[in-house]
Amino acid sequence: MAPDDRNEVPLTPGDHPSELNESPSTLVDSVPKPAAESSALSSSSQTSPSVPSRPSEEDPADSIRRPPIRRLITPAPKALKSSRSSFFSWPFVFLFLGFLAIGSCNFTLFSLVDSFRQPTALSALTGPAVGVISVEGEIFDTRWATDTLKSFEKNKFIRAVVLRIDSPGGAVAPCQELYEAIKKFPKPVVVSMGSVAASGGLYLAVAGNSIFANRGTITGSIGVIMESIEFDQAMDKLGIKSQVIKSGLYKDVGSPFRSMRPDERELLQSMVMNVYEQFVKDVTAGRPKLNEAQVRKMADGRVFTGEEAGKLGLIDEIGGYEKAVEKAMALGKISDPNKASIIYEDGRLGFLTSLLSGNLAFLKPVKSAVAPGLTIKFIYRPGW
């Protein structure tokens, strides 16, 4: 609002309104009134009876012109928009429905894949069946396989098991756990080698009753390997030092932050050879046609094709997965193979189960290709 253009006399400290001997009515009368209002008052004063006026009092402050009283007009608040429009919109609805449709399609697709992967549920069996356990990739955990073997053992309809191996091996302890479980399994176990069944893969295979391999299957690699990496030279260039406080001389053996001492290498070599002896003895026990000397002759880490392994006695027959299943049915005394069921297990959970348990592959952290520390394995790694 623009300031008033009329000349106004400022109040002096002595002229504060509180010090004026005027009544509230006198102050109100001093406010200038509009012309229409003043004319109405003058006309009414002519027709109305006279009212005795209040005796005037001489006061110097009456000559002071007081500033007009201005009214502050607050505009009426605008009507609030409907809260419904703040979050409800058709694009949002279409986006939500689109995600819902995509999720439903993915769930249906994965359910169909699971149904094809496992044609018959173990609990729904009503006739003879063959159980199939598929071990693929590097072996780090075999608990699912040992649990599956226990389930197959308890089910009276499972007559035999096919162990499908497509693995270069893995950690020593998990391989030994599954090896012992296969050896103790009371029903026939037929092994089918895939593309690679070397080192730890071969270690598992010799626990079965019969071994099948394709002519081009890579197997063998009987031996043990321990790996470690060192960062000490790179740390020296970067000016980084590692401080270690330990309770014993060998507590940090295999540390990546310093070079390995000769005595440490000797200690680790003795560990590797101890596990190597276990490997040789277990292979000898699993291949009755081979004696320990024959096994040691080929147990220097070399690999063989399936055809070469057949001649050496590491496998029994040349053949693929189908022949292994036929052999399992024969050993399980299944008279009509056409009526037999196949129960397939590979350790992978269904999509819905994985989603609910948080075991989806893309939710898991990726394992580092180069991990510091020591690892001892039955594994075949070409190119390393």
Task: Tell whether pTM > 0.85.
Answer: no
Average pLDDT rounded to a whole number, residues 44-51: 46
Catalytic residue among 33, 251, 281, 333: 251
The mean predicted confidence, pLDDT, of the chain is 78
Reply yes or no on whether 199 is catalytic. Answer: yes
Those residues with Cβ within 8 angstroms of residue 63's Cβ, 6 or more apart along the chain or in another chain: none
pLDDT value for 167 = 95
Q: How confident is the model at residue 139 (pLDDT cuts 50, 70, 90)?
A: very high
Q: Distance (Å, rounded) from C-alpha 132 to C-alpha 164?
A: 7
CB-based contact 169:377 (threshold 8 Å):
yes
Distance between CA 161 and CA 139 in Å, rounded?
20
Q: Which of 134, 167, 192, 199 is catalytic?
A: 199
Confirm whether 333 is a catalytic residue. no
pLDDT at 29: 44
d(Cα 121, Cα 214) in Å, to the nearest integer? 29
3-state helix, strand, coil in the chain (%, to 5): 45, 15, 40
Confidence (pLDDT) at 348 = 72
What is the identity of the amino acid at 4?
A: D
Interval 247-270: pLDDT, tens: 999 999 988 899 999 999 999 999
For each of the domains in the chain, give its residue range(s) and CATH number, in order of start.
128-358+370-379 (3.90.226.10)
* CB distance 185 to 146 below 8 Å: no
Strand stretches in 154-206, DSSP E: 158-167, 169-171, 189-198
Give the pLDDT score at 108: 64
Confidence of residue 12 (pLDDT cuts 50, 70, 90): very low
Which one-letter DSSP state was computed for residue 338?
G
Q: Give pLDDT, residue 94.
A: 73
331-345 pLDDT, tens digit per residue, is 999 989 898 999 999
